[in-house]
A = this chain, B = another copy of it.
Amino acid sequence: MSDSDATDRVPTDRLVDLRRTFHERPEPAWREFWTTARVVDELERIGVDDLFVGPELLAPEARMGVPDEADLTEWHDRARDAGADPDTLDRLGGGQTGCLAVLHGDRDGPTVALRVDIDALPLSESGADDHTPAAEGFRSRHDGAMHACGHDAHMTIGLGVVEALADRDFPGTVKVLFQPAEEVVGGAASVVAGGHLDDVDYLLALHIGLDHPTGEVVAGVEGILAVSHFRAEFSGESSHAGGHPEDGRNAVQAMATAVQNLYGIPRHSEGATRINAGDVGGGTAANIIPEHAYIEGEVRGETTELMEHTREHADRILTNAAEMHDCEVSVTTAGEAPSATPDDAVVDVVESVAGETAGVDSVRRHADLGGSEDATYLLRHVQEQGGKASFVGVGTDHPTGHHTPTFDVDEASLPLGVAVLADSIRRLADERP
């Protein structure tokens, strides 16, 4: 069967090396300087027909959750010091990271796109002996940053798919998107606004793991929670905590009241919701009544409506927690993504291809994500333009949950991901389901 050819041309060793290289240098959202440069290096090695980098890909005003200049400069300099190609770095001004590779097939046909994401999480990786990256020497070199959600594997598979399709033996056009800033649900909207997906007929988005073991493929992941990330800044007034406690307007009290009540937003009978105050802080010293505090948090819902309902509660809580302590609060949306549903036509193809792929021993038509993904912006956009899309899960044994310091992937899943996705892309291009 020709399908097996796809992976034959991408040696597993190279995939493993690539993934470990990425794993060692995790970069959080909009700071993927070294990462983008490394992806561009590989794409140029393989040879692609078009390559859109950073500002050529994105609409900058639609980006969400962009860090401040100092933060960007620090990561930019670190990438340069680590040997990233200076020419590519020059093309990533202001944290406009990510890229899109285009391959033209040798005959006419539809446009099929694959999206992988490239950013890491602000989490310190475990150094435990039984954590493979630590034991085998490719643990994160960046304190406080970690590929704890498998985006290192996503990029690797994305590059493997480009290489597998480098023969151009397919009809139409293939676009492979290396998207920045997924973890802050801040990147996809600016990709949509950039226009490169306007002509896409079929879109596949990839996620590895999700509690599915190596050898299992989910053809159409459902239950992708709509999400909204917010940042609340509380302002009060400082004063001497011993001498004049009554003169303070305590922003930390306001923040703590908000945290307590955010987690208490009522459950909803129509579906799952989520709430998290994931990054909080406030005050400056033990003996000063705190003037400032903040919450970076998120709400999610099984539908966009459920997310928005929860967000309304959150906004009311943040406002009143501030007023209760005579403080002000400003709440901004740092990222947002709707829910989305895969199309049967695309799910059919992936299900069928996966069933024929050597090494895949379990194919599930649907499973719930239980998380969020700004890929939903991409799916919805393609669907609104008349195209069809699916969010594909490629199983991998992972010892602990996503977003934990001991998360890891089973590298045996890398060639399986390449095979299933490259062949699904060929089949979609061929069959026009």
Q: Which residues of A contact B (CB under 8 A)?
A: 121-123, 144, 149, 183-184, 210-211, 225, 227, 229-230, 237-248, 250, 252-253, 255-257, 259-261, 263-264, 266-270, 272-291, 293, 296-298, 300, 309, 316-317, 319-321, 323-326, 334-335, 369-372, 401-405
Contact = CB atoms under 8 A, between A and B. Distances in A.
Contact of A278 (B255, B274, B290): B290
B324 A369 contact: no
A36 to B, nearest CB: 21
Given A257-B261, A296-B285, A324 B320 contact: yes
A279 B255 CA distance: 12
A31 to B, nearest CB: 13
Nearest to A312: B326
A240 B286 contact: no
Contacts of A317: 324
Contact of A122 (B285, B309, B371): B285
Nearest to A276: B241
| Across the A-B interface, the 7 shortest Cβ-Cβ residue pairs | A263-B264, A281-B281, A242-B371, A320-B324, A256-B259, A241-B276, A240-B403
Given A239-B403, A371-B242, A278 B269 contact: no
Contact of A269 (B121, B245, B260, B277): B245
Nearest to A289: B276
Given A259-B256, A300-B242, A370-B243, A287 B278 contact: yes
Nearest to A309: B246
Max chain B C-beta neighbours (<10 A), residue from A184, A285, A317, A370: A285
B260 A286 contact: no
A272 B264 CA distance: 15
A76 B198 CA distance: 55
Given A252-B259, A261-B253, A264-B263, A244 B370 contact: yes
